[in-house]
Amino acid sequence: MKRSEGSMKKKVLVYAGTLRSGGGGSVLDQIVDYLIEEKRDFVIYLGDKKLLSEYEKRGDIPLSSVNGFFSYLSPAAVYFISKVYFLFRSFLKRDECVVLSFNQYIPSVYNNYVYHINLLSFMTEDGIGAKIRRFDAKKALQYAKKNIFESNYLKDIAVRYTGVDRNDFSVIHVCLNSEFKSVGGRGEKKEAGKIIAVTSPAKHKNNNFLYECIRSLKNKRPDINWKLCVVGGQDLKSWEGNKDYAEAIGVETSVEFLGPLTRTELQKKYITSFCMINSSKVESMYMVVLEAMSSGCPCVLADNSSARESMGNVYGLFKDDDPNVMAEMVIALQEDSSLYKKTVEEGLKHVQYFSKERFIKEFSLVIE
């Protein structure tokens, strides 16, 4: 990557040592697209082996711009090494750079820009890991050159839990991956009762609520062959506990666990699914909702954390902590074709804001 002629912009060291393939990797993709579009010199430091492999196979980035960051060590070791690596690098090289990191503060002589994309960084959870993460996020708010948040909800939570508020905090909503923006087949026939959930086995995802919704749907409308496809997680083994709960409440034959999918495979699921359901309690931004709506797949979503900011005024939000309410909203989409059509159209209109062009423009005004 060569700097554009006459450019005075500094080289960007992108520290993504704590990001993993999946949601975090998708945000990194958007940052890299911005850097390429702006013709910036950059180097990416990756601590996740799978994500590193994906980036080494990208054809639009020189291999010299992709560095593994002690990916053979534990995440804890990688975290602590990052606290001294860039500090020593900045003293030894004395080059003109800035550091762009995710969720955490990186000490160095360079200016540090932090893009906050993890709501859990500011939550009052127990455990040494959570406390370190929260301490680090607070230091970022205090000392980083610039703090950028992927949603207003995340910024408000950060201020509330840390007591740190600066007038230079920025909010830059993530953008949709271009593959979801250009997806075809929105007119394909939807199979009645075919539902998708893109989630992970993490406790805050509240997945048992989804299986209880399926049980409610089967009781309310036994004439429909309800089928929930669960997508996500690092591998199929991680879903064993969820499978046990689905079996315990008698819906195991109506729930299929697919594990992680490629974007192409996920697009096909969105396009052919009747709707998506989500009951996560903690999200800084519901990107899966935007992906689904962009593919013409309506969403029924529990109104938690940043749900309203993510979904806007499109039909599908509910406040009651009751799977029967979710089931009733799904049935309404099934029975009312005009409501279904309106929801799809409003969803497609809503996601137009989350464009790559808007993201690049806003980021270019923030990073020196």
Question: In whole angstroms, how far apart are CA 223 and each of 192, 229, 255, 297, 335?
Answer: 11, 19, 17, 22, 13
* Cβ proximity of 52 and 65 under 8 Å: no
Q: What is the mean pLDDT of residues 267-291?
A: 94
Kindly state whether residues 207 and 167 are assigned to the same domain: no
The domain spanning residue 342 has which CATH number? Answer: 3.40.50.2000
Cβ atoms of residues 82 and 17 within 8 Å: yes
> What number is the average pLDDT over the span 349-364?
93
Q: Give dist(CA 209, CA 164) in Å, integer.
A: 35
In a domain, 270, yes or no: yes
Residue, of 133 and 286, whose pLDDT is higher: 286
The domain in which residue 337 lies consists of 179-353
The count of domains in the chain is 2
Q: Which of 304, 311, 305 is nearest to 354 (CA)?
A: 311
Looking at the structure, tell me whether residues 203 and 102 fall in a common domain.
no
In a domain, 204, yes or no: yes
Burial 41-61 (b: 16+ CB within 10 A, else e): bbbbbbbbeebbebbeeeeeb
Average confidence (pLDDT) over 208-215: 98
Report the candidate in 58, 54, 60, 48 with the shortest Cα–Cα distance to residue 20.
Answer: 48
Please count the other Cβ atoms lying within 10 Å of the Cβ belonging to residue 200: 20
First-to-last alpha carbon distance for the chain, in angstroms, is 17
Taking phi over 0 as left and psi of -120 to 50 as alpha, with beta for the rest, 268 belongs to: alpha
Give the tens place of pLDDT for each residue, 251-271.
999 999 999 998 889 989 999
Query: Which among 148, 172, 196 is the end of a domain?
Result: 172
**DSSP state, residue 237:** G
Q: Is the pLDDT of residue 4 over 50?
A: no
Same domain, 192 and 274: yes
Q: 135's torsion region: left (phi>0), alpha (psi -120 to 50) or beta?
A: alpha
Mean pLDDT of 118-126: 81
Same domain, 149 and 196: no
Residues 345 and 258 in one domain: yes
Residues 242 and 313 in one domain: yes
In the predicted model, is pLDDT for residue 8 greater than 70?
no
Last residue of a domain, one of 172, 196, 219: 172
CA-to-CA separations, 345 to 63, 77, 102, 176, 351, in angstroms, rounded: 42, 48, 34, 17, 10
Judge if 183 and 155 occupy the same domain. no
| Beta-ladder partners of 13 | 43, 99
Q: Is the pLDDT of residue 187 over 60?
A: no
Whether 191 and 83 share a structural domain: no
Please determine, for residue 208, whether its predicted confidence score (pLDDT) is greater than 60. yes
Cα–Cα distance, 147 to 159 (Å, whole number): 12
Report pLDDT for 188.
59
Q: Which residue has the tokens 């029975």?
A: 335
pTM over 0.95: no
Q: Distance between CA atoms of 43 and 64, rounded to whole angstroms?
A: 8
Q: Which of 146, 172, 198 is the last residue of a domain?
A: 172
